[in-house]
Amino acid sequence: MSLPHAILTALLEKPSSGLELTRRFDKSIGYFWSATHQQIYRELGKLEAEGFIRTLPAEQPARGQKKSYEVLPAGRAELARWAAAAQDPKPQRDPLLLRLRAAAVVGTGGLESDLRRHLELHRRQLAEYQEIEKRDFPPDRDTPEDRLRHLVLRAGIDLETFWTQWLTHALAEFAELPGEAPEQN
């Protein structure tokens, strides 16, 4: 449901080809809404069939030339409708949390090292987000558009900060465990 809206958003920011969209997803939108190259192309076809986007005319017709797309008024209206609609938060589904719950009944073997690995991954992601913030959002970038984009990045920074703090706490708890949790019958 949200991939078409992510594509509409990206195309409203800048008309692009499918390949350019894929690259932009890898560098920005993909941090919070990922999509494969195939998914993006499939959605582009659907969005065009629905009259939400159109292929831009080529400057010079050539076989195999990449198509670029732009959003039509119907696409802008759909994106505005979707952005304004109420939506409930999604329930949290995290395999790591489920594995911790399972470890309470089957033992913690191997889990501590994976917690350390997760901590390192979250630390790296946090550092990357902080670098993006430093590079792309200096204090003088204060337009409403920049403030909203920065707000999205701040969500990523805050989530990674949460995970690094929580994992640090979890590892401290593991250090205090008296060995493997007893198995229950």
Q: Which stretches does DSSP call E strand in 30-182? A: 53-55, 68-71
Structure confidence at residue 26 (pLDDT) = 82
**Whole-angstrom distance, CA of residue 173 vs CA of residue 139:** 39
CA 168 to CA 115: how far, in whole Å? 9
For residue 53, what is the enclosing H or E element? strand 53-55
Tokens encoding 63: 């076989």
**133-175 per-position pLDDT tens digit:** 999 999 888 899 999 999 999 999 999 999 999 999 999 999 8
What values do phi and psi take at 183, rounded to 5? -75, 145
User: Could you identify the residue written with the tokens 């003088």?
Assistant: 140
**How far apart are the C-alpha atoms of 96 and 113, rounded to whole Å?**
12
Least confident piece of the model among 23-27, 97-101, 114-118, 137-141: 23-27
pLDDT in tens, 72-85: 999 999 999 999 99
Q: What is the pLDDT of residue 58?
A: 74
Pick the closest to residue 119 from 155, 159, 172, 163 (CA basis). 163
CB atoms within 10 A of CB 162: 12
Whether the pTM exceeds 0.85: the reply is no
Token pair 């805050």 is at which residue?
158
**Cα–Cα distance, 33 to 105 (Å, whole number):** 34
Euclidean distance between CA atoms 183 and 176, whole angstroms: 18
Estimate to the nearest angstrom the gap between the alpha carbon of 100 and the chain centroid.
Answer: 24
b/e sequence 27-60, b meaning 16+ C-beta within 10 Å: ebbebeeebeeeebbebbeebbeeebbbeeeeee
